[in-house]
Chain A
Amino acid sequence: MDLFSNLLHGIAGVLSPTTVLLLLVGVLSGMVVGVIPGLGPSAGLAILLPLTFGLEPVQAIVMLAAVYYGAFYGSTISSVLINAPGDAASVPTALEGYPMARRGRAAPALVLGALASFVAGTVAAVLLTVAAPAAASVTSSFGPPELFLLIVLGLLTMIMFVGKNWVRGLLSVMLGFAIGTVGVELGGSQRYTFGSTELINGIPFIPVAIGLFGLGEILWTLYNGAHRQERAPVDVRAKSAFWPNRSEWREGGGAIARGAPLGFGMGIIPGAGATVSSLMAYSMEKGISRKPERFGNTGAPAGLAGPEAANNAAATGAMVPLLTLGIPGSASTAVLLGGFLMWELKPGPLLMEQNPEFAWGLIGSMYLGNVVLLLVNIFCIPVFASVTRISLPTLAPLIMVLCAFGAFTVNGSIIEVGIMFGCAFLGFFMRLYGLSPATLVIALVLGPMAEDNLRRSLIASDGSFGIFVSREPSVVLLCVAAALLVLPLVAAPVKRAVGRRFANRRANDSENARSADTPEVEHS
């Protein structure tokens, strides 16, 4: 209980009219940055960090926490509305949220996203309070071999993205890996850079994702002639168009309950946490769903809510290594760490002991950021959702400009805008030939990480693969990987058997669900 009083003190300590104002400003400016395609939480923090230099440390941290959550949610908004994810972890949101928006369920998708973030943020804040010390010991046992295995787990989840069409799926993965090889490799020599300074750090993920999803989608829509169709008339003020309906609640709720602890657990692992957790939540939801065929097709609320919850809980989980070990667990926390130095705080295992009011203030303000985000969004979602009422001939040019702007802003590089346009065409042809852009993007993110960690492990072990079985955490991860591979084989017959037994009950269930739903027009 002592811990909870710490948390309450943390919240009380940062609560004042000034900080509430800073929270509002932070959430809104974070959202504005995050809504720009390609600009996710870490970019948002980096862009807005200089704004906080003039503030007191506690005020600065309150504002940054607000920016962090605002930018997180901003990426959700752009993923759902214009299919342009701001970071790798939002790819599932785009996969499920955008189809929902296309059939007039944009506001419920955004509400589910906001609630998933809020609930996951709350659960994670409590877990952080209770489990931080224990979680820290897990973190410090994750060296390169464990990171490699964890990333392999993430890659295994792509099986779920690929579905039955495994040849095309494999081709998409290989394309992603291939793009990921560009740049200076671990040993210092260059691969496919042709001496260009623009390419020494590799082909960045963000312009690729914006091109493949955002702009690629527009090209695909034009090719399909969907722009000539009338959009579903949606009255965003109507209750039924704003709140998720009963089946969306039920699917989303379960997914949130599963995604939050998963995300927190993965978030405490430095490096791969957020992305891998969101992908795992997605494949888990698809795996246990009764209607997996809706995933990535007409939009499944569970596939949106689960990864969103996992993503958000992972963001809080990433605070565990930062606060207890002084080790940044993600790109965003690395920016925060830079801020710590700026405010003359010494990151390290003693941070919580030496500056308890600061550490708890940080946790408290992350929680408050979540609350303010939810409140702000209840009012803002109808406005955002109205975007779906704009006809495509009007919207498409705007999205194109936003995509180009977003690709440029991240690093101020015109080359990246070129990469974005190139990937738009790549995305178009991938859709045309039934390849999977989502798989490519994930392979691009995870491939180089897997390569680097594999090579680090092998350098450390003098080339022996024994390093993967001689360390306890590695063995645990190997077992999980084996289970993931075997489970689907075992699960199918079990599922069928269970399915038969409950066939009658399920029929009743879906009957009920259908009658509770408001009638919808499918537009995909």
Chain B
Amino acid sequence: MAAINLNINGKKQVLDIDPKTPVLWVLRDHLNLVGTKFGCGVAQCGACTIHVNGNAVRSCILPVSQIENKEVITIEGLSEDGDHPVQKAWLEHDVAQCGYCQTGQIMTAAALLKSNPSPSDEDIENTMNGNICRCATYLRIKAAIKTAANS
């Protein structure tokens, strides 16, 4: 066990925890931030995507010790009231079917637009390729990212 300094969604706190615990389970089990989803546990599906210092990262294999004093944003902290341009575009395109993977998709998309405000189709396809949507809402995801890019 170790005391880890966390900065999640702007909130600073110290958590006494096994430093090897993946951030995903710190969020879900210890901090009640369940918008970040468990899909595969091996960084293959993207459902657990969060932002660490602005970069999209898979939280399921990231030990909590690695985020000490780093700025972490989860879906709950992406915007005040779901009004991030990517979230708004997701609603406009009514992207979701089951909805389970969508928070991970949104976090990946938001990081993409931050580093590349007007991505090409190829940029979108390459970046979003790490996020599986079993319902296969891929075309709406792509369309929503374009809408968000233009807003």
Tell me whether A and B are bound partners: no
